Amino acid sequence: MIEYSFREVRAIYAIVETGGKQYRVTPGQVVDVDHLDMVEGETVELDKVLLVADGDKVVFGTPTVEGAKVLATSQGDGKTDKTIVFRYKNKVRYRKKTGHRQLYSRLVIDRIEGPEGITSEPVKKVRRRKKEVRESGT
């Protein structure tokens, strides 16, 4: 008989809706969403939370979870890779080539707040220590 031991991992996550799309987010995660009109470093509150899960506790919304929100910080805007749109009709020499680049906003998920005491701890920002510089060569 083989026995497996599993660590109990407390993984809090939420499913949020923004820009007509749904995203599964966890604290500390970087997510690219459709363009939001905000400046870099600004905090945004995503309140269309469809589901909040913390280990065995799962809360579903009808359609959204009351009192739940996800706090995120903007890291700026960007553009996706160019998508080539090529229209072609055979036998009539019809060819059109155009391109499209979609705008997006990059968000860092700071915290998930849910009902019934389901709350994630704020993500600790890791700062590296500077190395000490010695004046002697050794």
Burial 13-32 (b: 16+ CB within 10 A, else e): bbbbbbeeeebebebeeebe
For the cut 90, the answer to whether the pLDDT of residue 89 exceeds it is yes
What's phi and psi for 110, nearest 5 deg? -90, -45
Structure token pair of residue 112: 């998930």
Measured distance CA(78)–CA(40) in Å, rounded: 11
Q: Is residue 64 part of a domain?
A: yes
Q: Is residue 43 part of a domain?
A: yes
Domain that holds residue 46: 12-75+106-113
Q: Is residue 92 part of a domain?
A: no
pLDDT > 70: percent of the chain: 81
Cis omega (within 30 of 0) for bond into 27: no
- Tens digits of residue pLDDT in 9-48: 568 899 999 999 999 999 999 999 999 999 999 999 999 9
pTM: 0.75
- Which pLDDT belongs to residue 122? 65
Q: How many domains does the chain have?
A: 1
Q: Is residue 129 part of a domain?
A: no
**DSSP for residue 37:** S
Largest CA distance in the chain: 79
Output 138 or 67, whichever has higher pLDDT: 67
For the cut 50, the answer to whether the pLDDT of residue 5 exceeds it is no
Q: Is residue 46 part of a domain?
A: yes
Q: Which amino acid is at 50?
A: L
Q: Which amino acid is at 12?
A: I
Output 104 or 115, whichever has higher pLDDT: 104
- Which pLDDT belongs to residue 83? 97
Nearest to 58 by CA among 91, 105, 11: 11
- Which pLDDT belongs to residue 119? 78
For the cut 90, the answer to whether the pLDDT of residue 100 exceeds it is yes
Output 10 or 92, whichever has higher pLDDT: 92
Q: Is residue 57 part of a domain?
A: yes
Measured distance CA(18)–CA(41) in Å, rounded: 19
